[in-house]
Amino acid sequence: MKRSSMHKAWIAVLGVWGGVVCAAPITFNTALPISQDEWILREQFVFMKSANDPTPMNRRMEVSGLMTMLGYGVTRDLAVFAVLPYMDRRLSMNMGGSDVSRSQAGFGDAMFLGRYTAYEDNAPGSTIRVAPFLGVKAPTGNDHASDRFGRLPPMLQPGSGSWDWQGGVVASYQSLDWGGDVQLAHQSNGKANGFRAGAITRLDLSVQRRLWPGTLSEGVPGFLYGGLEANLIHTAKDRVNGMGDPNSGGTTLFLTPTLQYVTRKWVLEAGIQIPISQHLNGTALKNNYILTTGFRLNF
């Protein structure tokens, strides 16, 4: 798993941009608004496993951590967000006939984003929103970590050491029974320590359907939604000392079944990203799955 996996996690946690009384995508953004002067806190536990190594080294990569996001509605159209991850990364492999593990845990790079509602169309019981967004990731995490073998590779560093930019547009539809979202996003990564992670371009789709209650009535404490999300993600090759890494980058298609229990003040959610197609370059390590579970609160 390359550092692009962390960028995917960044985008996933930002799915909090939906109103808390509605279901929203778990793996990407939504255009549904945050009310003016309202705060939203989202905590997501993420576990990623990559173990499909095409080489005799039998590499196994596991990443677990907590993504903390705080959002604020500046106006009815403008919202701003800050995200801070804490991750534990572990890479195991066969070297010289022995099994070797290298790992590192710590706070990663902080990300700051803004989103503006450029178009809205409201009708009784439904709404359509379109919103562009722009963000920057600052090099706040440690990018010089080492162990007994020496300096850790970029995929194990808590931070990247680079300034990275992300932008895109997302459109959302929400009714009393179901919702849908589509997003196009791009992330350009800076250079640090002779390394530049490959740029990421992605197209995301999501549909959420209310499973319970079947009929709306008074006195219902919450709503259970089921959803299905698709993420088509293309990652360019990493560059090391100006040269492209032939064993990095590629295109992956994920399908993600989701469940969300939604109340007026809080949401419980879970989803698992399953790669159904992976066309990676060279000996790049393939992903097995990404499990996400957590909650969000508004106040």
pLDDT digits over 47-90, tens only?
999 998 989 999 999 999 999 999 999 999 999 999 999 999 99
pLDDT over 60 (residue 107): yes
In Å, what is the CA distance from 16 to each residue of 7, 32, 37, 39?
Answer: 16, 9, 16, 11
In Å, what is the CA distance from 170 to each residue of 43, 52, 140, 174?
Answer: 22, 32, 27, 13
Residue 220, judged by CB atoms within 10 A of its CB (0-12, 13-18, 19+), counts as exposed
What is the pTM for the complete model shown?
Answer: 0.91
Q: Could you tell me which of 29, 17, 164 has the C-alpha nearest to residue 77? A: 17
Length of the chain: 299
The secondary element (H helix, E strand) that includes residue 171 is strand 164-175
The secondary element (H helix, E strand) that includes residue 177 is none
Q: Could you tell me which of 17, 37, 222 has the C-alpha nearest to residue 113? A: 17
Confidence class for position 9, pLDDT limits 50, 70, 90: low
pLDDT over 70 (residue 224): yes
pLDDT over 50 (residue 232): yes
Superfamily of domain 4-298: monomeric porin ompg (2.40.160.40)
240 touches 275 (CB < 8 A) = no
